[in-house]
Structure 1
Amino acid sequence: MKYTAPFLPGLHLQSLRKKPRSTAQIMADEMMHKKDKSLLGLKACFGRFIPESFLKNNVKGHHSRHRIFSKETTFWAFFSQIIDADGGCAEVVKKLKTYLAFNSDQSLSVSTGSYCKARKKLEETDMVEILQHTSESFHVNLDDQPLAGRRVIVVDGTGLSMPDTSENQDEWPQISSQKTGCGFPTMRLLGCFDLATGAILSYAVGNKKKHELPLLRQQEGTFKEGDIFLGDKGFCSFYDVDRLREKGVDSVIPLARRIPKTEQTCIKKLANNDLLIRWERPAWYKKALLPKDEWNQLPKELLLRQIKVDIEQPGFRVKSFYIITTLLDPLIYSAKSIADLYYRRWSVELFFRDLKTTTKMDILRCKSPAMIRKELLMYFIAYNAIRHLIYETAHAHEKDPMRLSYKGALQALRQAEVYFNRAALCPSEILRIRENLLDSIRTNIIPFRPGRSEPRCLKRRLKPYQLLTLHRHEMIEIKHRSKYNAKAA
């Protein structure tokens, strides 16, 4: 006769045969569940450019425990905030709340306090490593390089503003002609870009008193042997040309603050308007970069090449200018190819336009210098990630990456982010959305308009608001006083 166990309410026979799970095992499963469910879909799009190893939680200290705002989630939320059209903290928190409600049973408050605290805990050194990885992970073919298969680094500076806080004013003071409370902190930024890909390789920041040359010297490690330095006339410096030459880096810059050499004073005439010249070391002065004894150790002269470029196309401010370069071989580097290379120097202005106007980096949002630096790093990381998508698309379809619209790529990414979030746990769906994103980037081609010239004029008039000429609280007092006097009269 078969024995039948009695039914005991509240007990399950199979569970009685197993060892009960510990509290630690239950919590570990819950944390793993949260980790799988709390990532934004942007990771699926940019995981190859920004490896997960950079975003693992720390062993101890900040971001060492698994929470909703883990190190990885905070990073991708910050990334999403940068590429978002609104750019506010509240927008990205609501986006993350909607994502969690769609993909899990977790809930999140719409308050931005937790997110802002988690964002402050991101280490600046980690973000610097991520930016360096995004800039070094481009695989550029020799045929894509602008000149003789060599990497060209184009350099230029720009200015940024930020909220008017006392901490920001101490770090980056406003222009002295502006009254206290009527201006904004001003930052000077110098960036080094790869001309072939448009990616930013390094950057340096300073206040309004910093010249671009000292900021360039802070980034000497960016240049490697065989590179070509491309800059405007602000970088026409004997010391810097010689310093780069010693590292095996050639320079292409316009002549400034010197009288051009003539055929009578040159060493050799290579071709028409193409001369081999000697560049004498300037005399030492008290405000020079080096002490007098170190300055005298510099070479007495540099052997350079001077190329005169005549401009026949209307729309330019000058009719001719001179280029100074250390590329001395006219057979490998013709005068026309060097002039065409300098013509492409304008691309750096377009790179800054993509960052400042399209991605809205011209006015930073954070209120402390530490967060301003992190915000700046995140802008560059997001910019390089989008440049990766553009270059990957251009390489796959044999197109010029500079002809694919950065703004079009950013718009396509904003629309695709919603569907990446929905399909965060479905690899096949993620692949389909990503292919559709790359197809949108491929079809958004900038028209070829060589020599296009447009006047920098505004057609739409600004609203006729009164200008802030005093501190805001002083103007409020004056306004209330005038109303009181009007009533009394």
Structure 2
Amino acid sequence: MFAVGHLGELTQVVPFDLVDEALASAGGLQHRVRRLPSRVVVYLLLAGALFTGTGWTGIWSRLNASLPVPLPVPAPSSITAAMRRVGPRPLKALFDLVKGPAAVTATQVTRFAGRLVVAIDGTQIALPDTPANLSVFPKAKAGPNGPAGYPMLRLVTLTACGTRTLMDAAFGTDLTGELTYARDLVTGAGTTRALRPGMLLLGDRNFSATRFVDTVASTGADFLIRAKTHSTALKLPILRRLPDGTFLSRIGEVPVRVIEATLTLTPADSTSKHTATQHAYRLVTSLLDPDEAPATALVRLYRERWEIETSYCELKSTLLGGRVLRGRHPAAVTQETWALLVAYQALRTAMSDAVLHRPDINPDRAAFTIALNTARDQIIRAAGIIHTQTDLVGQIGTAILNGLLPARRHRSRPRVKKRAINSKYRAVGRHTDHRTHRTAVHIEINTLPNPPDG
């Protein structure tokens, strides 16, 4: 019965002993050998995160397809009962074992001033509209367009820029705000703290809050956060002007350096109808020395924050395919979400391994879709389960290296209100060119005319 418990070539990333350790630590091991052992159930859940458009019996058939002696397909009720028996805790324990930056060489992760660059942000995932789910994940209040279609789960992750691997994650009801999950995430407990000295945290304007900045500073990590500029923005008094045009200030009790910059985006294509556009940025950072962290370099570094946005696109649009989760009760939702995060981390680790010994290749060029489709093929073939010294890259790595994406280039695209898939109505702003264009970026650090306070 244990033969069905595999993940194709990704079993090398999430091996049997790791799954057994997670089950043992979380109390998920079975007391007797069953037709659906706990280890098999865990791999079934992980495979479900890779085949999100397939039911559990169909996923069983894929895991079973290439075995020498195919096993009968269990009844759906038996699979559901086995998943409830295992529960969500072993999946959380397994995520704790596989999370991290995956590859920590200089060519893999993004580093700045000797610090590992990580990003934090939140997103929402739709859940089945069942009475059980609504008791824990109630729908948002009705807005001008009517009530929400689905209850939502709020997910906040800490992601390593470059490899896009997950450093840690927290989720729950979306009635709890993003900043609350973020504070719990970065502090952790003891040795499990996700944010540590030697890291540089990137965050968008939602994270420019006094309490959150104080929490990040207490971990010993540095930060680079875009600050708000409207009426509710943080008060940033000028304490001392620096030679590079930035100035020192304070958020609560935390000393910060403030960078005011204007980005000018000019179309690289002379035939483009787009005109140059300007965008004002205000960044706050705990890196106070202009020689260690030049202002222009920090402004350029901030765009790495979009790595986490790309990872959410891969998680929700590529892995989930825009679908809601399967779980029809809260425990199943929690279990499935941890399985989804483990499967994503396994794919990202395999992608990092593929370019580990190729310093000329930026991890950004590894295609997530190619990795996912190849991993699915290896599951159906039950191939590459055991690591061999003769094939260090594997089929997933070979497919990635044969289908590298073009090198990243500067691009711009106007922000527009989203429309439903296959909608017969045009998006708002029908006369605007919504295509993506290559651009040249010019950064100008603004020097404030007024003298420092005091």
Q: Normalized against structure 1, the TM-score is what? A: 0.74
5 Å-filtered alignment, 1:74-473, equals: 74-84=41-51, 86-99=53-66, 102-104=67-69, 107-109=71-73, 111-136=75-100, 138-142=102-106, 144-177=109-142, 183-219=149-185, 220-221=187-188, 222-256=194-228, 257-258=232-233, 265-272=238-245, 274-279=246-251, 281=252, 299=253, 302-313=254-265, 319-360=279-320, 362=322, 363-398=324-359, 399-419=361-381, 421=382, 435-454=394-413, 461-462=422-423
Give me the whole-angstrom Cα distance separating, in 2, the residues matched to 1:46 and 1:241.
Answer: 39
Question: CA shift at 1:461, angstroms?
Answer: 3.7
Deviations 1:427-474 (A, max 9, x none): 76x96596232110112222235232345566974379xxxxxxxxxx
- Note if contact 2:63-2:379 (Cα within 8 Å) is conserved in structure 1: no
Letter in 2 for 1:269: L
Residue 448 of structure 2 corresponds to: none
SS at structure 2 position matched to 1:354:
helix
Specify which structure has the higher proportion of strand: 2
Q: 1:345 to 1:53 in 2, by over 3 A?
A: closer
Q: 1:394 to 1:188 in 2, by over 3 A?
A: same
Question: CA shift at 1:149, angstroms?
Answer: 2.6
Question: CA shift at 1:230, angstroms?
Answer: 1.0
Question: CA shift at 1:303, angstroms?
Answer: 2.1
SS at structure 1 position matched to 2:338:
helix
Give me the whole-angstrom Cα distance separating, in 1, the residues matched to 2:28 and 2:338.
Answer: 22
Give me the whole-angstrom Cα distance separating, in 2, the residues matched to 1:158 and 1:317.
Answer: 28
Q: 1:134 to 1:171 in 2, by over 3 A?
A: same
Give me the whole-angstrom Cα distance separating, in 2, the residues matched to 1:259 and 1:182.
Answer: 32
Q: 1:451 to 1:196 in 2, by over 3 A?
A: closer
Instruction: Give % identity.
Output: 20
SS at structure 1 position matched to 2:142:
coil
Letter in 2 for 1:69: L
Deviations 1:223-244 (A, max 9, x none): 1122212110101112221232
Give me the whole-angstrom Cα distance separating, in 2, the residues matched to 1:427 and 1:451.
Answer: 39
Deviations 1:323-367 (A, max 9, x none): 001100111111122111211111111010000000017521110
Q: 1:212 to 1:61 in 2, by over 3 A?
A: closer
SS at structure 1 position matched to 2:299:
helix
Question: CA shift at 1:389, angstroms?
Answer: 0.7
Specify which structure has the higher proportion of helix: 1
Greater CA drift, 114-123 or 154-163: 114-123
Give me the whole-angstrom Cα distance separating, in 1, the residues matched to 2:178 and 2:405.
Answer: 31
Greater CA drift, 70-79 or 440-449: 440-449
Give me the whole-angstrom Cα distance separating, in 2, the residues matched to 1:361 and 1:460.
Answer: 12
Question: CA shift at 1:371, angstroms?
Answer: 0.6
- Note if contact 2:224-2:286 (Cα within 8 Å) is conserved in structure 1: yes
Deviations 1:244-265 (A, max 9, x none): 2232111111112337768xx4
Q: 1:414 to 1:320 in 2, by over 3 A?
A: same
Question: CA shift at 1:217, angstroms?
Answer: 1.3
Residue 8 of structure 1 corresponds to: none
SS at structure 2 position matched to 1:218:
helix
Q: 1:339 to 1:121 in 2, by over 3 A?
A: same
- Note if contact 1:278-1:304 (Cα within 8 Å) is conserved in structure 2: yes
Give me the whole-angstrom Cα distance separating, in 1, the residues matched to 2:161 and 2:37.
Answer: 36
Give me the whole-angstrom Cα distance separating, in 2, the residues matched to 1:422 and 1:180.
Answer: 49
Letter in 2 for 1:453: S
Letter in 1 for 2:195: F
Deviations 1:393-447 (A, max 9, x none): 111222211221111211121122222x1676x876x965962321101122222
- Note if contact 2:115-2:199 (Cα within 8 Å) is conserved in structure 1: yes
Question: CA shift at 1:209, angstroms?
Answer: 2.7
Would you say how many aligned residue pairs link Structure 1 and Structure 2? 400
Q: 1:261 to 1:168 in 2, by over 3 A?
A: closer
Q: 1:180 to 1:171 in 2, by over 3 A?
A: farther
Give me the whole-angstrom Cα distance separating, in 1, the residues matched to 2:179 and 2:356.
Answer: 35
Q: 1:131 to 1:58 in 2, by over 3 A?
A: closer
- Note if contact 2:140-2:147 (Cα within 8 Å) is conserved in structure 1: no
Give me the whole-angstrom Cα distance separating, in 2, the residues matched to 1:427 and 1:217.
Answer: 39
Give me the whole-angstrom Cα distance separating, in 1, the residues matched to 2:62 and 2:379.
Answer: 10
Give me the whole-angstrom Cα distance separating, in 1, the residues matched to 2:11 and 2:118.
Answer: 25
Give me the whole-angstrom Cα distance separating, in 2, the residues matched to 1:380 and 1:75.
Answer: 13
Give me the whole-angstrom Cα distance separating, in 2, the residues matched to 1:433 and 1:146.
Answer: 27
Give me the whole-angstrom Cα distance separating, in 1, the residues matched to 2:116 and 2:321.
Answer: 27
- Note if contact 2:139-2:148 (Cα within 8 Å) is conserved in structure 1: no
Greater CA drift, 237-246 or 45-54: 45-54
Residue 10 of structure 1 corresponds to: none
Deviations 1:30-49 (A, max 9, x none): xxxx44x443352x533344
Letter in 2 for 1:258: A
- Note if contact 1:132-1:201 (Cα within 8 Å) is conserved in structure 2: no
Give me the whole-angstrom Cα distance separating, in 2, the residues matched to 1:343 and 1:137.
Answer: 19
- Note if contact 2:241-2:248 (Cα within 8 Å) is conserved in structure 1: yes
Give me the whole-angstrom Cα distance separating, in 1, the residues matched to 2:197 and 2:47.
Answer: 37
SS at structure 2 position matched to 1:396:
coil
SS at structure 1 position matched to 2:258:
strand
SS at structure 2 position matched to 1:187:
strand
SS at structure 2 position matched to 1:188:
strand
Q: Which runs of 5+ in 1 are unaligned?
A: 1-33, 282-298, 465-489
